[in-house]
Chains A and B, each alone.
Chain A
Amino acid sequence: MADSHADISKHVNLYLGVFAALAVLTIATVAVSRVELSGTGHIVAALVIAAVKASLVATVFMHLKWERSAWIWWPLSLCAFFFVVLLTLPTLTATEARDRAPANTWDKLPVREMPIHGEHAAAEH
Chain B
Amino acid sequence: MSAEVLPYTVKPHPVTGVYSGKLGTWLFLASEVMLFGALFSMYVFLRVGAPTEGSAVWPTHDQTHLSWKIGGFNTLMLIISSVTMVLAWAQLKMNNFSKARMYLMITFVLAGIFLAVKLTMEYIPKFDAGIRPSTSVFFAAYFVLTGLHGLHILGGMAVIGYFIGPGAALWKENPEYYTNRIECTGLYWHFVDLVWIFLFPVLYLM
Contact = CB atoms under 8 A, between A and B. Distances in A.
Main secondary structure of the interface of B (DSSP, over half): helix
Interface string A86-99: 11011101110110
Interface in A39-91: 42-43, 46-47, 49-50, 53-54, 57-58, 61-63, 67, 69-72, 75-76, 78-79, 82-83, 86-87, 89-91
Contacts of A8: 90, 93-94
Interface residues of B, number: 74
Contacts of B15: 71
B131 interface: yes
Contacts of B62: 117, 123
Nearest to B124: A121
A110 B135 CA distance: 9
A68 B134 CA distance: 46
Given A54-B194, A61-B186, A87-B40, A46 B16 contact: no
Interface of B: 15-18, 22-23, 26-27, 30, 33-34, 37-38, 40-42, 44-51, 54-56, 59, 62-63, 65-70, 72, 75-76, 79-80, 82-83, 85-87, 90, 93-94, 121-122, 125-126, 128-131, 134-136, 183, 186-187, 190-191, 193-194, 197-198, 200-202, 205-206
